[in-house]
Amino acid sequence: MTGLLPIKKFLKEWVPSLLVAVVVSFTFNTYVAQGMRVPTGSMLPTIQLQDQIMVEKLVRFTDFQFGDIVVFYPPLPGHEEERYVKRLIGLPGDTIEIKDGSLYRNGEKVDEPYIREKMTYTFGPLKVPEDKYFFLGDNRNDSLDAHLWPTPFVDKSKIIGKAMFRYYPLTEIGPLK
C-alpha cells in the first residue's frame, strides 16, 4: 500500500498543473497566436521557403492595413483547408489593377519595394467587395494567389490572422514587413 502513496501524491500535485497548462496552451494556440511553417516560395524574398512564423490571431477582430502579411484559407477549390500566407493588397472598396508590371490601387501606382520582380501579367481593374480582401504573394510571377483564383477575393471569415515575426531560422528572427 505504501507504493501507492507516492503515485497519489504525484497525481494530486502535478495533474492539476498539467491540466491547466494544456488548457492554457490550447486556448493560446486557438485564439491568440500560433506558429506556422511556410511551405512555398510565394512570399520570396520577404519570407523564405520553410521559415517559421508567428501568426497573431487577435488581429482578425481589428482592421487590417494595406501591406499586412496575412494568413487565411483561400477561396480556391481543392485548397480550402490549406493556410496561405500573402500580402494584403486590396481592402473592401478598393479598385485593384495590374498593368505594365505595376500594381495600381484606386488608380494610383503603388510603390512595392518588397516584391521579387515586376509582374509579367495584367489583371483587373476589379473592385474589392464589402467584407472581402485581395491578396498577392511577394513573388508575384510564381505565386498561386488572387490573380489566378476563379474567385479573387477572400472573405473576412476565412482570415486566420496576421503574420507578425519570423522565429526560425534563428539567424533570421525578426518582424515581418
Q: State the catalytic residue, choosing from 8, 9, 42, 162.
A: 42
Helix and strand numbers (H, E) in the chain are: 1, 12
Domain locations along the chain = 35-175
Annotated active-site residue 42? The verdict is yes
User: Whole-structure pTM over 0.85, yes or no?
Assistant: no
Phi, psi of 108 (to 5 degrees): -110, 135
Question: In angstroms, rounded to a whole number, what is the distance separating the alpha carbons of residues 36 and 26?
Answer: 15
Q: State the catalytic residue, choosing from 8, 17, 86, 162.
A: 86
pLDDT of residue 31: 65
Asked if residue 16 has a cis previous peptide bond (ω within 30° of 0), the answer is: no
pLDDT of residue 14: 80
As its CATH architecture, domain 35-175 has Ribbon (2.10)
Mean pLDDT by 10 residues, the chain (177 residues): 69 78 70 84 94 86 86 92 96 97 97 94 96 96 95 94 90 84
Question: In angstroms, rounded to a whole number, what is the distance separating the alpha carbons of residues 69 and 55?
Answer: 10
- Helices assigned H by DSSP within the chain: 4-27
